[in-house]
């Protein structure tokens, strides 16, 4: 079996868990492959895409490349149009030609993670932060028929209103409403933290007050380090189902492996790798 080669690009890329996760996934599915890290500056992406990266079988993209990669791909699937970004590229080689195909696995990673936790995607979803991942959550939830409360700091609220207008145009008037975070005090069927607030080493920070958490039926935090963020800890203490973003991270990677190789994984596989990821983080 020919060895396959994959990787992740970003700038700066830092201490990513992607090689650890993908190595585990490839071992589970019997794929002979490796996974490398590439720190590529934005101004070098186009050249690197057609040279270094095109030698791979595929790669993942993280900040700041998700929009730029979308413009470089030869073909895109429907997820790219929905989210306006690409985080996974496959290079399909046919004789001497190479075709690049792009998709985004963020949405399916989120949907699968909350489903495993028994959290329903319906009703009113409140999303704190409307950057890249927040917009993925918003589009995913709106597509599922949810209504949205979009929370943002005052300095960024106007950009969020523009984004909300696009959601309402796509999914129907009244789908999304915008609030300054500290002014919000409504009810939520699902509360999502899509900001880095509470991420290690700033583990004592919480994106919203206790009153917002207590009025939520479930909580999801995209942050995965620490293993129990403060917003998740507060929710669990109040008897509210809550989880961090590690399972989503693993499901995103699993979806990339499916895109590349057709590999399939069950919930037990994902849960075990997520557990091993937390153990790996503790060593770093």
H runs (alpha helix) in 84-123: 106-116
Distance separating alpha carbons of residues 155 and 185, to the nearest angstrom = 19
For the record, the structure tokens of 85 come out as 């970004």
Closest-CA residue to 153 (of 179, 177, 132): 179
The first and second tokens of residue 271, run together, are: 């849960």
84 class by beta-carbon count within 10 Å (0-12 exposed, 13-18 middle, 19+ buried): middle
Determine which one of 3, 4, 66, 217 is catalytic: 66
Token readout for 62 is 């993280």
Active site residue 3: no
Q: Which residues 6+ apart lie within 8 Å of 7 measured at CB?
A: 35, 36, 37, 38, 53, 56, 59, 60
CA distance readout (Å), 200 to 64, 186, 223, 228, 271: 21, 28, 9, 10, 22
CA atoms within 13 A on the CB side of 2: 4
Give me the long-range contacts of 160-164 (CB less than 8 A, separation at least 24).
160/130, 163/130, 163/135, 163/138
Query: Phi/psi at 176 (nearest 5 deg)?
Result: -125, 135
Distance CA 152, CA 7 (A): 33
Place of tokens 């868990």: 17
Looking at the annotation, which residues are catalytic?
66
């Amino acid at each position: 079996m020919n060895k396959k080669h994959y990787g992740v690009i970003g700038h700066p890329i830092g201490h990513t868990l992607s090689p650890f996760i993908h190595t585990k996934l490839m071992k589970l599915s019997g794929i002979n492959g490796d996974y490398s890290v590439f720190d590529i500056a934005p101004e070098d992406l186009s050249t690197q895409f057609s040279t270094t990266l095109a030698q791979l079988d595929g790669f993942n993209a993280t900040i700041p490349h998700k929009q730029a990669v979308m413009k470089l791909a030869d073909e895109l699937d429907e997820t790219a149009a929905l989210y306006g970004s690409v985080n996974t590229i496959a290079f399909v080689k046919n004789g001497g030609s190479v075709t690049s195909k792009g998709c985004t696995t963020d949405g399916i990673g989120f949907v699968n993670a909350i489903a495993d936790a028994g959290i329903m995607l319906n009703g009113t979803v409140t999303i704190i932060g409307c950057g890249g991942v927040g917009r993925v959550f918003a589009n995913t939830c709106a597509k599922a028929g949810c209504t949205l409360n979009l929370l943002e700091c005052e300095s960024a609220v106007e950009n969020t209103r523009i984004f909300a207008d696009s959601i309402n145009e796509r999914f129907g008037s009244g789908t999304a409403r915008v609030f300054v975070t500290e002014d919000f005090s409504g009810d939520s069927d699902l509360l999502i933290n899509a900001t880095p607030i509470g991420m290690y080493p700033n583990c004592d920070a919480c994106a919203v007050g206790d009153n917002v958490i207590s009025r939520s039926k479930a909580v999801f935090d995209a942050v995965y380090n620490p293993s129990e963020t403060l917003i998740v800890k507060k929710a669990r203490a109040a008897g509210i189902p809550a989880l961090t973003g590690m399972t989503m991270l693993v499901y995103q990677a699993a979806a990339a492996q499916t895109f590349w190789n057709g590999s399939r994984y069950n919930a037990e596989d994902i849960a075990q790798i997520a557990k091993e990821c937390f153990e790996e983080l503790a060593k770093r």
